[in-house]
Amino acid sequence: MSGIVPAPASIELRDDAAPFRLTDDARIVARGAGAAAVAETFAARARAATGFGLPVVDGEPAASDLAFVVADGEAPGAAAEGYTLESGADGVRIGADTPEGLFRGTQSLRQLLPAEIERPDAAGEPTGGWTVPAASVADAPRFAYRGAMLDVARHFFPIEDVLRFIDAIALLKLDVLHLHLTDDQGWRIEIRSWPELTGTGASTSVGGDGGGFYSQDDYRRIVAYAAERFVTIVPEIDLPGHTNAALSAYPELNCDGVAPTPYEGTEVGFSSLCASPERAEATDRFLADVVREVAELTPGPWLHLGGDESLATSPADYRDLVRRIATAGAATGKTIIGWHEMGASRELPPGTVAQYWSFVEPEPDAAELTRSFVEQGGRVIMSPADVAYLDMQYVDDPQGPLGGRLGQDWAKGPTTIDEAYLWDPAAVVPGVGEGDLLGVEAPVWTETLGSISEVEFMVFPRIAAIAEIAWSPAGPRDVEGFFGRVAALGRHLDALGVAYYPVRGVPWVE
Ligand code: ACM
């Protein structure tokens, strides 16, 4: 079974024509700026799986070779992430205008190969050999921003877990990993000018499961690993609420000058930076230092500054703090992203992006707050919680391998894969249409998730639905066809050792 998730804009599979056969004679002929690096990333995986040499070379491709080409005019419509892929008995050729487009094309090639291509242990040729069906693909994404979010604050995930997660989402052509780096339960990124943030502030997590944080070098390693997979890291410092970890580390950030104890529960909405003029010097210095250090570590264009659930902040204090937070953020030169509540401010820096996290049927204020960003010149990332929050329980998880103890149900109950698939980001908020959208993101919150396999179990396979909404053309959705492609993806996830929940309805292959 072959099939690509997310579905390409156009694909023709010629089952009656001879396939391409990858053999030990194959070379990867890389042409154009940046093509060789993409070829090496693909070759590393394919060498490990096949045991073949697969040298990356210049020159003319033979029928046994793979040609990876970066040149103007290769991608459909000159799309930055677009590519074409041709395969058959006379070779495989992927063409793109950019290395990024070429990389996306190689993710399609992975999925057209037998799932054993994911195995790191050269366990032998699969039945039928290393074949790629005869196919013509012309592809480009619907949205530029296709994200997943990992909450590393409620539970901390070591660097190797984050790299593993990046690998898994890149297969689905996601191009953003948003790291929720700070919350009440922990501060996870080293800030050299405020060292106690990762002293006291990083000592805890939900349920007393221990602390942890990324040093600046760790974070740079994550950024570099992601960049090799054309994934941009979006760091989030959640402000002005969700700040108990910071407040516990520095008494001077508290209105009463007293540091609260570190927090290991799961309630929200009780902490806030102090808006009072007596604390203005410390608070503004904290804001400027934190956003400067985080921005300096982050080559990507975005800085997420939170803004959600500041229930312990009065509306006037909230607007004042958001103005100061956003001003500090904009001074770094980054584009600010905020959860949709930030739209309460009419003084957002130009271009500030909303992340919408209400439901597919918007709650009363959420639509208006989101439109406020658009009115101020910003665009919107869609993450409706009842379809895109991947920590929501599965419907029949009590029978599942992890016994129903994972996930939450506050976003209108459990979420089926059909629900995650059958919604249109351009039809959620009245007045926020296709052209107002930057993209789509699937967050996973970790109140109940303490290991990367638990995260993977909640994320897969539902993230395939979000990836397809973000990448594939708008239009009627064919659930059955999607389920068939998800079943093929399941074999790749098996070979990768990525945990997933075998939801009902998908024709999983043993
Ligand atoms: C959120 O779920 N509080 C953004």
pLDDT, tens digit, for every residue of 16-60?
A: 999 999 999 999 999 999 999 999 999 999 999 999 999 999 999
pLDDT of residue 397: 57
Contact assessment for residue 412 and residue 386, using Cβ atoms and an 8 Å cutoff: yes
**Euclidean distance between CA atoms 498 and 402, whole angstroms:** 15
**Euclidean distance between CA atoms 324 and 279, whole angstroms:** 13
Whether 386 is in the pocket of ligand 1, judged by its Cβ within 6 Å, is no
| Mutate-to-test residue for ligand 1 from 178, 339, 389, 447, highest number of ligand atoms within 8 A of CB | 339
Domains of the chain: 10-139 (3.30.379.10), 145-496 (3.20.20.80)
What stretches of 268-399 adopt beta strand conformation (E)? Answer: 302-306, 335-339, 353-356, 380-382
Is 309 a residue of the active site? yes
Residue located nearest, by CA, to atom 4 of ligand 1: 308
Can you tell me which residue has the tokens 């149900």? 409
Whether 339 is in the pocket of ligand 1, judged by its Cβ within 6 Å, is yes
Summarised one tens digit per residue, pLDDT across range 487-510 is 999 999 999 999 999 998 999 997
Q: Work out the pLDDT band at 123, boundaries 50, 70, 90.
A: confident
Host H or E run for residue 69: strand 66-70
Residues 6+ apart with CB under 8 A from 36: 30, 56
Q: Work out the pLDDT band at 395, boundaries 50, 70, 90.
A: confident
Q: How many CB atoms lie within 10 A of CB 158?
A: 13
pLDDT for residue 367 is more than 90: yes
Residue 281 carries which side chain, given as an amino acid letter? E
Query: In angstroms, what is the span from residue 238 Cα to ligand 1's centroid?
Result: 10
Whether 130 is in the pocket of ligand 1, judged by its Cβ within 6 Å, is no
Residue 460's Cβ-side half-sphere holds a number of Cα atoms within 13 Å equal to: 27
Summarised one tens digit per residue, pLDDT across range 300-350 is 999 999 999 999 999 999 999 999 999 999 999 999 999 999 999 999 999
pLDDT of residue 402: 58
pLDDT of residue 122: 84
Summarised one tens digit per residue, pLDDT across range 404-456 is 678 999 999 899 999 999 999 999 999 999 999 999 999 999 999 999 999 99
User: Rg of the chain's alpha carbons, rounded to an integer?
Assistant: 23
Instruction: Pick the atom of ligand 1 nearest to 357's CA.
Output: 4
Is residue 282 helix, strand or coil?
helix
- Average pLDDT of the residues in 247-275: 97
How high is the mean pLDDT of the chain? 96
Contact assessment for residue 465 and residue 441, using Cβ atoms and an 8 Å cutoff: no
Closest by CA position to 483, among listed 464, 466, 458, 457 = 464
DSSP string, 477-504: --HHHHHHHHHHHHHHHHHHT------T
**Euclidean distance between CA atoms 346 and 342, whole angstroms:** 9
Higher pLDDT: 2 or 104? It is: 104
Contact assessment for residue 330 and residue 336, using Cβ atoms and an 8 Å cutoff: yes
Residue located nearest, by CA, to atom 1 of ligand 1: 308
Residue located nearest, by CA, to atom 3 of ligand 1: 308
Q: Any bridge partners for residue 392, and if so which?
A: 408
Catalytic, out of 190, 309, 441, 454:
309
Q: Any bridge partners for residue 214, and if so which?
A: 189
Q: How many CB atoms lie within 10 A of CB 303?
A: 24
